[in-house]
């Protein structure tokens, strides 16, 4: 075993653990933020964020079977991710709320970061832990759609978040 293979678990996976912790923190902040639930105006950006999520979810669903063949952990990750993405899009269109939009954008960003980590650092868990995945067309489409979710969500949030001269918003 050479020095590169003898790296500890934390050398390989500290970044993955930090990303997961960051995602959990974002979800907690969104769930526990002030009780005021800001309603969003339905806009083309809001629908674009939902559509981009559906596209990403469809790609994830399409590759779920091959991931189950590789490992149950990977298959379940993709299946749950697909369900969460499709449910988020439906909820966003039916009841657009700022916290929900923010949580979805943050979640999409973290999925993109995990995807990028699996291509540059290595897979964090499971049968292929530490191995680097190759870039492929389906994952580029899904990740591009997830980046679109983040951009469209920010554009949909802008009317609510931008400062309006002469109006003081409560903290």
C-alpha to C-alpha distances, 151 to 46, 49, 53, 90, 109, nearest whole angstrom: 10, 8, 12, 18, 10
pLDDT for 17-74, tens place per residue? 666 666 666 665 655 454 346 667 788 999 999 999 999 999 999 999 999 998 888 8
The residue behind tokens 């650092």 is: 121
pLDDT for 49-59, tens place per residue? 999 999 999 99
Instruction: Report the C-alpha gap between 110 and 56 in whole angstroms.
Output: 14
Domain-wise residue ranges, the chain: 43-161
Instruction: Report the C-alpha gap between 42 and 93 in whole angstroms.
Output: 8
Q: Say whether pTM exceeds 0.85.
A: no
> 103 is written with which tokens?
């949580």
């Amino acid at each position: 075993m050479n020095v590169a293979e003898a790296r500890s678990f934390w050398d390989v996976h500290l970044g993955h653990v930090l990303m997961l912790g960051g995602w959990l923190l974002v979800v907690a902040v969104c769930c526990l933020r002030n009780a005021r639930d800001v309603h969003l105006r339905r806009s083309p950006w809001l629908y674009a964020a939902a559509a981009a999520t559906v596209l990403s979810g469809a790609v994830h669903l399409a590759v779920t079977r091959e991931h189950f063949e590789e490992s149950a952990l990977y298959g379940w990750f993709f299946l749950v991710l697909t369900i969460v993405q499709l449910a988020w899009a439906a909820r966003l269109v039916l009841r657009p709320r700022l916290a929900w939009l923010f949580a979805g954008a943050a979640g999409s960003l973290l999925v993109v970061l995990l995807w990028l980590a699996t291509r540059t650092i290595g897979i964090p868990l499971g049968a292929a832990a530490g191995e680097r995945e190759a870039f492929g067309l389906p994952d580029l489409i899904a990740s591009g759609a997830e980046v679109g979710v983040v951009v469209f969500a920010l554009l949909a949030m802008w009317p609510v978040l931008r400062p309006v001269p002469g109006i003081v918003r409560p903290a």
